[in-house]
Copies of this chain bind each other. A is one copy, B any other.
Amino acid sequence: RIMRPDDANIAGNVHGGTILKMIEEAGAIISTRHCNSQAGEPCVAALARVERTDFLSPMCIGEVANVSAEITYTSRHSVEVQVNVMSENILTGAKKVTNKATLWYVPLSLKNVNKVLEVPPIQYVRKEQEEEGKKRYEEQKLDRLETKQRNGDVILPVINPEPHTVGYSQSSLIHLVGPSDCTLLGFVHGGVTMKLMDEVAGIVAARHCKTNIVTASVDAINFHEKIKKGCVITVSGRMTFTSNKSMEIEVFVDADPFVDEPRERYRAVSAFFTYVSLSKEGKPLPVPQLLTETEDEKRRFEEGKGRYLQTKAKRQAQMQQSAQQ
């Protein structure tokens, strides 16, 4: 579809969240279709996890987004989908890869939302594809368990914060979950949640550096808890780390089943977003360093640095690998 002014920031760059939402919708369609391809209980595929995603080049207003999705692995109860997004300038014909994402879905019964159904197996062209898929499956399973144990951090407000401290840019928004946000089962689409998370992360980044910012990457996101129609969700973000030219923002989503339900507020999702600041010519600008004050802030900064160096090392290894091929 054509990118509209509402999909973009004032510099004309399409929000990463708009792209994440399109990716998730494509993944939900292909995996729901696959899981219902054999006779049996009807089901809806629910997003369980999105692997780390890099935004390779920004998309602009007026460009057309081409989204293609393919099922690349199935386990007994989950489906791995690979989604590619290309931006196309229909005036010049130029096409660019915007990003590639890997998503995991789980089929939930339409009759009983707590029942996970079985996934029809796919056929692999080569035997290795199945083995590689299984490896990816095991890896993400481990990672999901890990984040489930991370306990609920809370973002506390700060009065009169100094510029460039954590408190200075931290932000949160609330959103009342409406019918258009939800799947047939009455639970929020993963893509809607990711769009709100990117919105908060973008505001945190812009408050910190006061320039035009774009999403550079999103770390793996695990969806442990469903969010129901009628909930109020609070999406909060705080900066955790800055390198010379990038900012890492941690985002939390808390759900509040606020009418007619006995349940307490709970942490539904959390994730790390990385942003860069761009000049008018589209070049990365240096960003102000984050000032850490408390012990917790210093610890999170070091952890963020660890993730940053790890990603950098991985990328260099990949580049060397492709140079050797």
Q: Contact at B91–A32, with CB atoms within 8 Å?
A: yes
Most buried by B among A90, A184, A206: A90
A33 to B211, CA, bound (A): 33
A178 to B179, CA, bound (A): 8
Q: Contact at B199–A36, with CB atoms within 8 Å?
A: no
Q: Contact at A207–B42, with CB atoms within 8 Å?
A: no
Extra contacts, 20 of them, besides A6-B6, A90-B207 (Cβ < 8 A), are A6-B178, A9-B62, A10-B62, A10-B230, A36-B91, A36-B92, A36-B93, A36-B260, A42-B92, A42-B261, A90-B206, A90-B210, A91-B206, A91-B211, A156-B157, A156-B159, A173-B174, A174-B200, A179-B179, A207-B258
CB-CB < 8 A to A88: which residues of B?
A: 33
Q: Contact at A180–B4, with CB atoms within 8 Å?
A: yes
A93 to B37, CA, bound (A): 7
Q: Contact at A173–B171, with CB atoms within 8 Å?
A: no
A71 interfacial contact with B, CB 8 Å: no
CB-CB < 8 A to A174: which residues of B?
A: 26, 29, 171-173, 200, 203
A313 to B315, CA, bound (A): 64
Distance (Å) between the CB of A287 and the closest chain B CB?
14
Q: Contact at B2–A203, with CB atoms within 8 Å?
A: yes
CB-CB < 8 A to A32: which residues of B?
A: 90-91, 258-259
Query: Chain B: which residue is nearest A204 at the CB level?
Result: B90
CB-CB < 8 A to A42: which residues of B?
A: 91-92, 259-261
Known contacts: A32-B258, A176-B202, A259-B36. The answer to whether A61 contacts B10 by CB under 8 A is yes
- CB pairs A–B below 8 angstroms (8 shown): A1-B25, A5-B6, A5-B178, A9-B62, A9-B176, A36-B91, A42-B92, A42-B260
CB-CB < 8 A to A25: which residues of B?
A: 1-2, 176
The interface size bin for chain A is 35 or more
A25 to B177, CA, bound (A): 11
A43 interfacial contact with B, CB 8 Å: yes
CB-CB contacts below 8 Å: A175-225 with B: 175-176, 178-180, 184, 199-200, 202-203, 206-207, 210-212
Distance (Å) between the CB of A54 and the closest chain B CB?
23
Contact with B along A20-52 (1 / 0, CB 8 A): 000001101100110011000011100000000
CB-CB < 8 A to A93: which residues of B?
A: 33, 36-37, 207, 210
Q: Contact at B184–A62, with CB atoms within 8 Å?
A: yes
A232 interfacial contact with B, CB 8 Å: yes
Q: Contact at A10–B229, with CB atoms within 8 Å?
A: yes
A110 to B258, CA, bound (A): 12
In the A-B complex, the 7 residue pairs with the smallest Cβ-Cβ separation, listed nearest first, are: A42-B260, A5-B179, A5-B5, A179-B179, A10-B62, A33-B90, A10-B230
A159 to B25, CA, bound (A): 25
